[in-house]
Amino acid sequence: MENIDVMVLRAVANWRANGQRALLATVIRTWGSSPRPIGSIMALCETGAVVGSVSGGCIEDDLIDRYTKAYALVTRGEPPQNMVIAPQVLPMGPPQSVKYGITADEAHRFGLPCGGTLELLLEFDPDANSLKELIGLLEQGHLIQRQVNLENGLVTLTPCDSPAELAIDAHSLVNTFGPEYRMLLIGAGQMAEYLATMAKFNGFAVTVCDPRDEYSSAWSVPGISLSKEMPDDMVKTFKADRRSCVIALSHDPKLDDLALLEALNTEAFYVGAIGSRRNNTARKERLREHFDVTEDNINRLKGPIGLYIGSKTPAEIAVSIMAEVLAVKNDVPIAKEHEVMHAKNSKAM
């Protein structure tokens, strides 16, 4: 499944390229509780089609009603009596801001948590060529700042080195878009099937590597890249960056160890290997004894992987691994009692 931001941008670009009017909405400010974080985007076509979200659905419904209702009535041939329908439902001109949930009643009406307020910036008819250029840069793995001039809607794209929070002032909006998150799995067994499927639906581009014919020949998960390279070579080819994770699932040190060694020398935000506490300790000792690995890199290696949820089946273990990957990705601290190593040590006492 494609990164949600890219899906939204691609939808707007396609609508505009086909001559359809559209708007791009960005969450620019929130107060109190909010269903979607700052920087979230959604696209709305004049036909009422929506991609992405800025709330739980009610604000999307209001935007549809506000900007596409007349279009829908005209296309169905059902304009209300005595109603004058403007030739253009969507406004034209520079971006506009709109707030939702300012009062408790409005928060309830729009499905926001009590007291929650959010502000959107609406861009009308974004330029298709600029959007396509942005999408192309993201597909090439670049991190891009998209700056919108609030006076005229003109857009400037600038490559950047690190992610940044959305910034807005009286003159411009700057939102940073990154390439999609990627996951490399070593081993094409049943566990990889469950984890790859979950990662795909969480917006990761997933690659599975397994040179063993008995495993790779049986791989059948659609939408997942499969490689038969040796895992350490695949890690080099994969070129893991700060939006990548590498997870060893083969249980075979001949495949896992060298791949993990290569991964620990990258900027991958998560590097881990499945196995018991004993296997994890033995793995780290092998890396210390046979390879030139720094202690900092050894400490980066996660294992046993996953959050402690008492998982027993491959599917449950995959859920726990995916949860830990998402927590690290989202920079959420993991409490000791939720770490597998700590939880199992506590139970053994």
DSSP string for residues in 297-326:
HHHHEE-S-SB-S---SHHHHHHHHHHHHH
- Say if residues 296 and 288 touch (Cβ distance below 8 Å): no
Q: 91 and 210: one domain?
A: no
pLDDT at 35: 67
In the numeric block, the tokens 């009610």 are attached to 58
pLDDT at 341: 63
State the residue range of the domain holding 299: 182-348
- Which of 88-92, 218-222, 283-287 is least confident? 88-92
Q: Is the pLDDT of residue 87 over 50?
A: no
Residue 29: inside a domain:
yes
The encoded tokens of residue 250 equal: 């083969």
Nearest to 146 by CA among 36, 26, 37, 55: 26
Range list of β-strands (E), 125-251: 144-149, 155-159, 167-168, 172-177, 182-186, 205-209, 225-227, 244-248
Q: 199 and 313: one domain?
A: yes
Q: Is the pLDDT of residue 313 over 90?
A: yes
98-129: pLDDT as tens digits: 988 766 666 666 666 655 688 999 999 999 99
pLDDT at 112: 62
Q: Is the pLDDT of residue 66 over 80?
A: yes
pLDDT at 163: 76
Q: 200 and 329: one domain?
A: yes
Residue 245: band (very low, low, confident or very high) from pLDDT cuts 50, 70, 90: very high
pLDDT at 62: 87
Distance, in Å, from the CA atom of 98 to the CA atom of 23, rounded to the nearest integer, reads: 13
pLDDT at 180: 78
Distance, in Å, from the CA atom of 349 to the CA atom of 347, rounded to the nearest integer, reads: 5
Residue 163: inside a domain:
no
Q: Which residues pair with 146 in a beta bridge?
A: 157, 175
Task: Determine the distance from the C-alpha atom of residue 230 to the mean position of all C-alpha atoms in its chain, rounded to a whole number.
Answer: 28
Distance, in Å, from the CA atom of 345 to the CA atom of 60, rounded to the nearest integer, reads: 48
Domain containing residue 305: CATH number:
3.40.50.720
Residue 51: inside a domain:
yes
Higher pLDDT: 78 or 34? It is: 34
- Which of 88-97, 222-231, 258-267 is least confident? 88-97
Higher pLDDT: 203 or 261? It is: 261
Q: At which of 60, 95, 128 does a domain end?
A: 128
**For the purposes of burial, counting CB atoms within 10 Å of the CB of 157, is it exposed (0-12), middle (13-18) or buried (19 or more)?**
middle
Q: 199 and 89: one domain?
A: no
Q: 204 and 67: one domain?
A: no
157-212: pLDDT as tens digits: 999 887 788 999 999 999 999 877 899 999 999 999 999 999 998 889 899 999 99
Residue 313: inside a domain:
yes
Average pLDDT of the chain to the nearest whole number:
86
Distance, in Å, from the CA atom of 317 to the CA atom of 272, rounded to the nearest integer, reads: 14
Rounded mean pLDDT, 323-342? 83
Rounded mean pLDDT, 306-325? 93
Nearest to 134 by CA among 146, 150, 121, 149: 146
Counting the structural domains of the chain, the total is: 2
Q: 103 and 187: one domain?
A: no
